Amino acid sequence: MKVEREKIVLVLHGSPKRSANAWEPFRVYLSKILDVPEDDVVLAYLQFGEPDVESALRQCLKDGAKRVILHPLFLSAGVHVTKDLPEIVEKVKADFPWAEVLITKPLGQHEKLAEIVKERIDEVRTYSPQSIEEESFRIIEREFDFSRFLPLEKEVVKRVVHATADPEYIETMVFHPKAIELALENLRNKKKILVDVEMTKAGISKRLYPREKVVCYLDRVGEVRIGTRTEQAVELALKNENDLGLVVVGNSPTALVRAIEVLREQKRDDVVVVGLPVGFVKALSAKLMLLREDIPYITNLSRKGGSPAACAVVNALLSHIHSLAFS
């Protein structure tokens, strides 16, 4: 039988961090489950919060409650539950000898608590960055046809589609026959990666490749009267860097054109060009120019492109190397 004028005090430890003490929604929710007025469920704190337990208990009794139930929101019956709370109750009852004050068990090793722990574990598994990425790749694999690509080409295209959320790359990406093998060899040997802009540099995985091995020469180019800064930066780098393995262009069509011209002049075929600049002017024509050269390339025959797509190519290759190293 329900006792008249009963109140519930939820006892929390309390925290210096104010947001950690914000249990008001839980208090309201519990009152609904207990089917009691909201005011009959009260929050109280042992430390760092207001009201403290003694003040809350006294206020409940002053408001006319004949019974007060204290529920410690603690996992186990430690010192707070077995010593501190009983002492507070004893002190208050000295002034309210007629009052009935009860203390419940803490949460303890209850099977429903285990279910909550399982739920929290499942949440972090589901929403971890790795889980989200894995599920994204499963969706991409399930919804799109990659049958025209060789296995490693497929992995590269999948990552580009993932990075851009654009399946059109499945239709437009093309690979020089030697590109994948040479790119992997150069990356394993830690050869430098030349990029056209800092955004492209930022997108290449720091975890998978040494930062000092990714170079951008834009800050070495002063005022430009003819052409663009990116094309002059790429030319300067190609003429000064002797240990390049990849040239990655994800922004500037003019940088790709100049890279092709310099590599042709140098008669180099030991560098892979990842050419995915974006734009309505020269982007597609620069990629078509790349196809006509005997330079190992990875590109897409479209105006689309950009640093995310270009970086995705490199990161796919680096991920493949990393997976082999730890398999």
| Sequence letter at residue 296 | P
Is 60 in contact with 68 (CB distance < 8 Å)?
yes
| Sequence letter at residue 113 | L
Q: Which of 162, 176, 320, 322 is catalytic?
A: 162
Q: How many angstroms separate the CA atoms of 167 and 104, rounded?
A: 58
Residues 53, 55, 56, 57, Cα dihedral to 10°: 80
Q: How many angstroms separate the CA atoms of 202 and 14, rounded?
A: 42
**Closest CA relative to residue 42, chosen from 67, 58, 60, 29:** 60
Maximum distance among all Cα pairs of the chain, rounded to whole angstroms: 100
Q: How many angstroms separate the CA atoms of 20 and 18, rounded?
A: 5
Whether residue 322 lies in the annotated active site: no
Q: How many angstroms separate the CA atoms of 270 and 229, rounded?
A: 25
* Residues annotated as part of the active site: 162
